[in-house]
Structure 1
Amino acid sequence: LACAVCGLGIAWLTRHLGRSLDSLEVGLLNFSDNDFSVSIPEHGEGQLKTLAQLFNHSAAKLRQERQYIYQRELLLDKVIQSSPNVMLLLDDHQRLIYANDAARHLFHKKGRMEGLSLDELLVDLPEVLALALKHEKNGLFAMGEDDVETWYLSRGQFLLNNQQHNLILLKQMTRELNRQEVAVWKKVIRIISHELNNSVAPIASMVNSGRLLTKDLDNPKLKLIFDTIENRTSHLSQFIFNYARFAKLPLPQRRQVNWTQFTAQLTQHYPFKLIHELPEVDGFFDQGQMEQVLLNLLKNAHESGSNPEDVTLSIRYQTLVDGGGFSIVIEDRGAGMSGEVLEQALLPFYSTKQSGTGLGLPLCREIIEAHDGSISMHNRSDGGLLVRLWLPQ
């Protein structure tokens, strides 16, 4: 009887131990398949229960870590897909593994790009871009004819899963270079304005003192000398003021603007023919600064030799992939611009007018880019100039 009782006890313990080990084996097999959702029952006492508790605690920890990594991957993917920089990841066979939305936009691919070879990606691309991607060099390159764009290409290599991978990054540098260029011009203008003001103010004061000291002398030559000095210092002061205004342009104070009221104010200064109906959607910009831009462009159109009735203005709302905005176009039938003038027109100090300061169009560009927009100029095929502005909504 004692032996039978002992045998039953040993059999029960053996089955209990077997079930526990089977549960642990199933759980570990799930771990090997990257499934951490399983947990095992915590029966009995002693080491088996402790082992089951440790297993369940490890499973919960792994689930938490996996969820954290998954959320990090989602965040990283969102950041990469939202980045304006083009990102391409290639394997050691030069086949595409990953590409973000900016890459699909640059390569004009609507669907998935993964799986394509580098040679397949280069089909129908501009020659300059294709050569830059083929050559394994980092650096700047420019492409485009009318609107030249500057890009920076960088490459990197790393090992992933014991395989060599190549990372290609393309960054649009045109606006950044333009901003750096304008920042340098502004610094130069501030230095020159400061030095000139230090000289103009004493000269103007000395002219007034000279007039007082010689007021009893009725000498026409002295009066002519003082008048000439005063006129030139006044002109120089106004000259410095115009350049200082460009160097200290305030940030735009944006608000909603009705296009009908806005264009009605423009017609009080320069006449133009309105092409197309005005957008029903209100604009969102600094009204004072945008008036300054359009009045300057309309003034240039009237001074280009064009008939006043041929000066036109068009404002349209357009919806793009990355949001909507307004396309503003000013056209004339004047003499247009040569290729050299088109390249230099938006740079400070450059002017084809004898009395021009060379700040009108650069000030327009500075205001438009401060609104996160763009400006471009093109000669019309049948004569005249077209200026296109883009303002995001």
Structure 2
Amino acid sequence: MIRRLRSLEGRLSLLLMLAGLAGVLVYVGITDWPLPQLLALLHTDAKGVAPGPVHLGFGAGLAVSLAVLVPLALWMASLAMSPVSRLLRALEGSVASYRDGDFSISLAVNRRDELGELIAMHNALGQTLRDQRQHLVQRELLLDTVVQNTPVALVLTDAGGRVAYANIAARHLFNDGRSLHGLVFADVTADAPKAMREAVERGEDALLTVEMDNSEETFHISQRAFRLQGRPHRLLLFRRMTRELSRQEVASWKRVIRVISHELNNSLAPISSLAHSGAELARRGEVERLPGVFATIGERARHLHGFIAGYASFAKLPAPRKAEVPWGPFLEGLALHCRFRLLGGAPAQPGWFDAAQVEQVLINLIKNAHEAGGPDDEVTLALQVLGHDLRIEVADRGPGMSETVLAQALLPFYSTKRSGTGLGLALAREIAEAHGGRIALANREGGGLQVSLLLPLAATREV
């Protein structure tokens, strides 16, 4: 009960009760007692005789009561609302500070009513916002430290092409370590190598090699457009790839040397042994066994020749001679070399590629699909036009590939087959990229592998 009386509702109820009681007392005092008796005493005549009490009528009593009660009510309302008004003004100022990003204000008002609870919640909100601001500042500081010290040159430009942000690597790359903030990035790159400047102007990702500081540097340029605070911005990343590419080149050469050495040893060791055996048979006059020895030597020599020829074809892949390719003759020729089931028919629009190279890619892919171990009638070929691109899909119902194999299957010299060279899929990737396309591998739902070859159509061919 005491708690309820201390509440704002209890206080207002008590105030209204007091106001009503005061109104009744004022009305009675004016119309009945003691005001009529006082007025009678004031009108005592010369003989000292006082007339009877003067009783006011209802209307006059009500009017006089209102004249007394209205100023009293206004004064009591002002007295009651004064702390509430001060608190509301304080809350208004605090909310305005929050709107401006200042969360340092707390209200020190000790009340035990609903307004006190509101003040406590307000102060808790301010503390939460201060903690979040502090954590945000710490995260921004950490992010800025990471971005500033990354070896990747980072430049953020606004809609007008001016630099809004640049890290240390960008300042050293473009402005000898000086600040780039506020400069027009096109002016900054005016003295950059031509290939880099043209890549920035195109607004596309690029991998290029340029001459810098009397040496060649390879850069990977990444560009992304987005909106920051409702305004368009562009983020440019310049990553030096020279050292990384050198490491990859060395690793690739080591892998090549290991594969070639292994294959040469596997072929030359039996050839050397058979040659020694053939010489011994000839010395002993056992010539009837020599044809078998020579046949084995010839077989190993042919295998070694094919192995070396495969590497040579990968290293010396000619530039594709793109031409319009009608689907009817192309698919008929492909069917002479391998078995597949065509899904959905051929597109009405002809292809635009080097028929010999793409045919070799499809032969290898369909051959791999048959060797995967699934049913032969589930090896399918599908042709589909997607916008300005042609999608060729070769699929099977074999066991598919693990995630590890999928991640490395397109790398040169990687093979899961004991006798594989690891060049089939790598050659397919090389041919696809030479056509301006790409190749992708994915496991199918229900089992099997799907290889997708994406090539540009004639609508986007070079003029």
- The TM-score normalised by the length of structure 2 is 0.43
Work out the number of aligned pairs and report it: 245
Deviations 1:42-62, CA, capped at 9 Å, x for gaps: xxxxxxxxxxxxxxxxxxxxx
Matching of residue 389 in structure 1 with residue 453 in structure 2: yes
* Aligned twin of 1:297: 365
Deviation at 1:352, TM superposition (A): 2.0
* Aligned twin of 1:376: 440
SS at match of 1:103: strand
Amino acid of the residue matched to residue 367 of structure 1? I
Deviations 1:113-132, CA, capped at 9 Å, x for gaps: 365379xx9xxxxxxxxxxx
**Aligned partner (choices 419, 423, 436) of residue 355 of structure 1:** 419
Give yes or no for contact 2:223–2:237 (8 Å, CA) kept in 1: no
Deviations 1:179-228, CA, capped at 9 Å, x for gaps: 9968974897599979969x97xx89x969x77x9499334566655544
Give yes or no for contact 2:391–2:453 (8 Å, CA) kept in 1: yes
Give yes or no for contact 2:259–2:413 (8 Å, CA) kept in 1: no
Residues 244 and 263 (structure 1), Cα distance of their counterparts in 2 relative to 1, 3 Å cut: same
Deviations 1:120-177, CA, capped at 9 Å, x for gaps: x9xxxxxxxxxxxxxxxxxxxxxxxxxxxxxxxxxxxxxxxxxxxxx84147999xx9
**1:1-393 superposed matches below 5 A:** 80=200, 82-85=202-205, 103-104=224-225, 113=227, 115-116=229-230, 168-170=235-237, 185=252, 214=282, 217-219=285-287, 225-319=293-387, 324-393=388-457
Deviations 1:85-129, CA, capped at 9 Å, x for gaps: 39xxxxxxxxxxxxxx9634xx5xxxxx365379xx9xxxxxxxx
SS at match of 1:348: coil
SS at match of 2:374: coil
* Aligned twin of 2:83: none
Give yes or no for contact 1:186–1:247 (8 Å, CA) kept in 2: no
Residues 371 and 115 (structure 1), Cα distance of their counterparts in 2 relative to 1, 3 Å cut: same
Residues 236 and 79 (structure 1), Cα distance of their counterparts in 2 relative to 1, 3 Å cut: closer
Deviation at 1:275, TM superposition (A): 2.0
Deviation at 1:253, TM superposition (A): 1.2
Matches of 1:300 and 1:266 in 2, distance apart?
Answer: 15
Residues 248 and 325 (structure 1), Cα distance of their counterparts in 2 relative to 1, 3 Å cut: same
Give yes or no for contact 1:207–1:230 (8 Å, CA) kept in 2: no
Deviation at 1:302, TM superposition (A): 1.4
Give yes or no for contact 1:314–1:330 (8 Å, CA) kept in 2: yes
Residues 172 and 368 (structure 1), Cα distance of their counterparts in 2 relative to 1, 3 Å cut: farther
SS at match of 2:368: helix
Deviations 1:338-383, CA, capped at 9 Å, x for gaps: 1111112112222222322221111111111111110110001211
* Aligned twin of 2:103: none
Deviation at 1:256, TM superposition (A): 1.0
Give yes or no for contact 1:189–1:244 (8 Å, CA) kept in 2: no
Residues 371 and 280 (structure 1), Cα distance of their counterparts in 2 relative to 1, 3 Å cut: same
Deviation at 1:271, TM superposition (A): 2.5
Give yes or no for contact 2:409–2:425 (8 Å, CA) kept in 1: yes
Deviation at 1:294, TM superposition (A): 0.7
Give yes or no for contact 1:337–1:385 (8 Å, CA) kept in 2: yes
SS at match of 1:329: strand
Matches of 1:173 and 1:274 in 2, distance apart?
Answer: 45
More helix, by proportion: 2
Deviation at 1:81, TM superposition (A): 5.9
Give yes or no for contact 2:324–2:351 (8 Å, CA) kept in 1: yes
SS at match of 2:224: helix
Give yes or no for contact 2:380–2:395 (8 Å, CA) kept in 1: yes
Bigger Cα Rg: 2
Deviation at 1:291, TM superposition (A): 0.2
Amino acid of the residue matched to residue 355 of structure 1? S
* Aligned twin of 2:166: none
Unaligned runs of 5+ in 2: 1-186, 191-195, 207-221, 458-463
Residues 339 and 274 (structure 1), Cα distance of their counterparts in 2 relative to 1, 3 Å cut: same
Matches of 2:247 and 2:375 in 1, distance apart?
Answer: 38
Give yes or no for contact 2:224–2:235 (8 Å, CA) kept in 1: no
Unaligned runs of 5+ in 1: 1-68, 87-100, 108-112, 122-166
Matches of 1:364 and 1:392 in 2, distance apart?
Answer: 15
Matches of 2:247 and 2:391 in 1, distance apart?
Answer: 26
Deviation at 1:264, TM superposition (A): 2.0
Please, what is the CA RMSD of the aligned residues?
Answer: 4.6
Residues 227 and 169 (structure 1), Cα distance of their counterparts in 2 relative to 1, 3 Å cut: same
Higher relative contact order (CA 8 A, sep 6+): 1
Amino acid of the residue matched to residue 340 of structure 2? F
